[in-house]
A and B are shown apart, each in its own frame.
Chain A
Amino acid sequence: MSIDDKNVILEIDGLQTYFYSSEGVAKAVDGASFSLSKGKVLGVVGESGCGKSVTAQSVMRLVPSPPGKIVGGRIMFDGKDLTKLSMAEMRHVRGDRISMIFQEPMTSLNPVFTIGDQLSEMFMLHRGMSRKDALDASVEMLARVQIPAPRARAREYPHQLSGGMRQRAMIAMALSCEPEILIADEPTTALDVTVQAQILDLIIKLKEDFGTAVEMITHDLGVIAETADSVVVMYAGRVVEQADTVELFENTLHPYTRGLLDSTPILGRRTAGKFEKLNEIKGMVPSLYSLPKGCKFQERCPKAMPICSEREPQLTEINDSHAVRCWLHIPH
């Protein structure tokens, strides 16, 4: 891969996060490996349940436990394995050095505290500021995410802000301590289409300003095309394809990635006179409790071969900016 080792800031290596329930063990993440480079945007794509959010929660050590548990692998950050840190040590990483924004700006801010209170908390906690200084810093931060009349807004409660404004406030909060990594878990999914682009532009602009690396989790390849430098495609808790963004779109190898691309609606296709149905990936995401032997995608794969149900392929480098986990492209 083209990743210069010096620039790697976060390296996930063979991560396994399992959930234990009465129905059995759900291997939500099973041997996922990828890395994040300084100041770059890494897109992580996949359908719901593919393990992309659980991977992010594992990095933050926010996997609800029980039932969830990180059972294997390493998450290397700044020379330390995050999976080995104590909760007290982890608290200095969270928010300060790695921070996270969530999908639902409606519910991810506490409804009973003002925006200013919730932002100030970051400065008081990680920067040891006084309440007054922290509030000033918060107002400044709100201005940086282009919230109009930031001082008045700081006094308001979350429900008084629109969805887009709330997500801006969340971004302000996440970036307030200038973290090295920002994990954005579907940051635009719950927003109006018109607001989505603004929020993405804002994240990219602030990323440049702060030099933050971004892990952009999404199911929307459009978001990836707009923002990401490189992409990781996940399926059933594994990385199935990994490439630089341009390479991925121009030279799509994995049938699952192909399926995701083909099922993205293209504006104007129907009005052009061709009443094609939207392509979809047939079948459903398999239950994590009963994954097939061999390649996990074989049952839905239009190009499945006999070997696919026998042995699981490994993630294999095709060229220095592209790796894929598929027997079509791996000699066997």
Chain B
Amino acid sequence: MGPRERPQFTTMASYILRRVLQGLLVLLAVSFVCFCLFRYTGDPVLMLAGKYATQEEREMVRHAYGLDQPTHIQYIKFLGGALKGEFGKSYVSQVDALDTILERFPATFELALVAILISFAVGVGMGIVVSIWPKGCVSRILMSGSLLGISIPTFLTGILLVMLCSVYLEILPAFGRGDTVQLGPWRTGLLTLDGLKHIILPALTLSSYQLAVMMRLTRAGMREVMGEEYIKTAWAKGLSPAKVILKHALRNVLIPVVTIAGLSFGELIAFSIVTETIFQWPGMGNLLLTSIFETDQPIIVTYIMLTSCIILFINILVDLLYAVLNPKIRYN
């Protein structure tokens, strides 16, 4: 198979390369939007020097930050800085913007990770149950429940969960991240019992929508795949229902489900703002909201650039995963 593998590998590599180049173009566009946001929404000088600065002080600030140079020079400088990961300092805390956000990144990442794992595992599981016993009592409840999951807004889910689990039952904490452990540059809450307890409610809240989507996606996929000829073949081989459903059918159903899960993981990282606010979760979303209130533009711009990168990176990763799951993609 040696000589056959090389061209296939090349196709895959060139495909990834193409995707990366596309990604860079998207980033360029995003950076331009960010730059405009940075430069033209309000006068940054006013923000930097303060309301009561004199004209001279303002000119000094303008010069010090290079704001007196022509627009295209400023954009190129902005790009140059962005390439080196320099987005300037927070107006508020005077700390490097990227560092400030990266410090918050683990909290958001862990929250999104737990949320996506919950929605994937539970969603796919329920989807299988619903597709096998479509007329059962449990299935009917799950299907109606999934409609709720899709239609109830996140903040309401969050508040309801807090009321139920924290106020009435008093079994789970309602805010914060709990005890954390420092692992090198990464501060994790997943290794302490307290941390785990704290992540349950926000992760459930964040996952509720995705969970319902995954369940419905799995159900639709199962219904389609169970009618396929190769499933008939699998039954004809004498395989048990577990083998037919969990091996032969599920593997085919999972291809689109994993794709959606991967793509929504990026979204969860980027847009967990509401959930983080409800649960006082010390993540990037929470920081973004505060920064918007304070018009802390370097933080906002860095946040947008960073999440764009993350989403693009995850999209490429999902493409690769898709190829692993689907042999047809791998070779064509």
Q: Assess the A113–B237 pair: CB atoms within 8 A.
A: no
Tell me the B222-268 residues at the A interface (CB within 8 Å): 228-230, 232-240, 248, 251-252, 255
Question: What string of 1s and 0s marks CB contacts (under 8 Å) between B115-149 and chain A?
Answer: 00000000000000000000000000000000000
Q: Determine the residue in chain B with the shortest Cβ distance to A96.
A: B238
Cα distance A95–B327 in the bound complex, in angstroms: 26
Determine if A93 is an interface residue (Cβ-Cβ < 8 Å). Answer: yes
Does B295 lie at the interface of the complex (its beta carbon under 8 Å from any beta carbon of A)? no
* Contact status of A109 and B328, CB under 8 A, knowing A91-B240, A95-B238, A125-B239: no
A331 to chain B, nearest CB (A): 43
Task: Determine the chain B residues whose CB is within 8 A of the CB of A92 once the complex forms.
Answer: 238
Binding stretch for chain B, among A97-105, A202-210, A264-272: A97-105
B323 to chain A, nearest CB (A): 12
Taking a contact as CB atoms under 8 Å apart, the answer to whether A107 and B239 are in contact is no
Select A107's contact among B228, B236, B248, beta carbons within 8 Å: B228
Chain B CB within 8 A of A126 CB: yes
Among B39-65, those with CB < 8 Å from A are: none
Chain B neighbourhood of A62, CB < 8 A: 232, 235-236
Q: A157-B328, A159-B327, A160-B331 are in contact. Are A110 and B236 (CB under 8 A)?
A: no
Query: With the chains together, A24 CA to B304 CA distance in Å?
Result: 61
Q: Tell me the bound Cα distance from A175 to B237 in angstroms.
A: 11
B238 with A94: CB separation less than 8 A: yes
- Cβ of A112 within 8 Å of any chain B Cβ, yes or no, is yes
Q: Is A162 engaged at the interface, CB distance under 8 Å to the other chain?
A: no
**Which residues of chain B have C-beta atoms less than 8 A from A108's C-beta?**
229-230, 232-233
Is there an interface contact between B251 and A112, defined as CB atoms closer than 8 Å?
A: yes
B326 at interface by CB-CB < 8 Å: yes
Q: For residue A77, give the distance in angstroms from its CB to the closest CB of chain B.
A: 14
Is B237 touching A125 in the complex (CB atoms < 8 A)?
yes
- Is B229 in contact with A104, judged by CB distance below 8 angstroms? yes
Residue of A104, A155, A157, A173 touching B1 (CB-CB under 8 A): A155
Residue of A nearest to B248 (CB): A110
Assess whether A60 is interfacial by the CB under 8 Å rule: yes
Number of A-B residue pairs having CB atoms within 8 Å of each other in the complex:
72
- Is B200 an interface residue when CB atoms closer than 8 A count as contact? no
List CB contacts (< 8 Å) of A85-141 with chain B: 91-96, 99-100, 102, 104, 107-113, 121-122, 125-126
CA distance A173 to B252 in the complex (A): 20
A152 at the interface (CB under 8 A from B): yes
Interface string of B1-14 (1 = CB under 8 A from A): 10000000000000
Complex Cα distance, B240 from A108, in Å, reads 18
Contact status A113-B251, CB under 8 Å: yes
Residues of B contacting A173 with CB < 8 Å? 233, 237
B67 at the interface (CB under 8 A from A): no
A93 touches B238 (CB 8 A): yes
Partner of A110, one of B1, B234, B235, B238: B234
> Most B CB atoms within 10 A — which of A93, A112, A159, A173?
A112
On whether the beta carbons of A107 and B238 are closer than 8 Å, the reply is: no
Which B residue's beta carbon lies closest to that of A159? B328
Answer yes or no: B325 CB below 8 A from chain A CBs: yes
CB A183 to nearest CB in B, in angstroms, measures 9
**Which residues of chain A are within 8 angstroms of B233 by Cβ–Cβ distance?**
102, 108-110, 170, 173
* Contact between A109 and B236, CB atoms less than 8 A apart: no
B236 x A60 contact (CB < 8 A): yes
**B193-239 CB contacts (< 8 Å) to partner A:** 228-230, 232-239
Q: Are B239 and A91 in contact (CB under 8 A)?
A: yes
Q: Is the CB of A112 within 8 A of B239?
A: no
Query: Are A109 and B230 in contact (CB-based, < 8 A)?
Result: yes
Return chain A residues, CB-CB under 8 Å to B327.
111-112, 157, 159
**What residue of chain A has the Cβ atom nearest to residue B325's Cβ?**
A112
Taken together as a complex, chains A and B put the C-alpha atoms of A104 and B325 apart, in Å, by 23
Bound state CA distance, A110 and B325, in angstroms? 13
Residues in chain B near residue A159, CB distance under 8 A: 327-328, 331
Contact B229 A102 (CB under 8 A): yes
CA gap between A32 and B132 in the complex, in Å = 32
Give A106's nearest chain B residue, CB to CB.
B229
**Docked pose: A113 CA to B327 CA in angstroms:** 8
Q: Which residues of A contact B239 (CB under 8 A)?
A: 91, 95, 121, 125
In the complex, A94→B241 CA distance in Å? 13
Instruction: Tell me which residues across on chain A come within 8 A of B1, comparing CB atoms.
Output: 152, 155
Chain B residues within an 8 Å CB radius of A99: 236-237
B229: chain A residues at CB < 8 Å are 102, 104, 107-108
Q: Which residues of B contact A100 (CB under 8 A)?
A: 236
Known: A157-B327, A159-B327. A110 touches B252 (CB 8 A): yes
CB-CB under 8 A from B328, the residues of chain A are: 111, 157, 159
Chain A hits for B232, CB < 8 A: 62, 102, 108
CB distance from B176 to the nearest CB of A (A): 44
Tell me whether A122 and B237 are in contact (CB under 8 A).
yes
CA A288 to CA B228, docked complex, whole Å: 24
Contact between chains at B230 and A110 (CB < 8 Å): yes
| B residues in contact with A157, CB < 8 Å | 327-328, 331
Closest CB of chain B to A85's CB: distance in Å?
12
> In whole angstroms, how far apart are the Cα atoms of A110 and B255 in the complex?
14
Complex Cα–Cα for A93 and B238 (A): 7
| Further pairs besides A102-B233, A107-B228: 8, Cβ < 8 Å | A92-B238, A94-B238, A109-B230, A110-B233, A110-B248, A110-B252, A112-B327, A173-B237
Q: Would you list 14 pairs from A and B whose C-beta atoms are within 8 A, ordered by A residue?
A: A60-B236, A91-B239, A102-B232, A102-B233, A104-B229, A107-B228, A108-B230, A112-B325, A112-B327, A113-B251, A121-B239, A122-B237, A125-B238, A160-B331
Footprint of B on A, CB under 8 Å?
A: 60, 62, 91-96, 99-100, 102, 104, 107-113, 121-122, 125-126, 152, 155, 157, 159-160, 170, 173
5 tightest Cβ-Cβ pairs between the two chains A and B: A95-B238, A94-B238, A107-B229, A95-B237, A157-B327
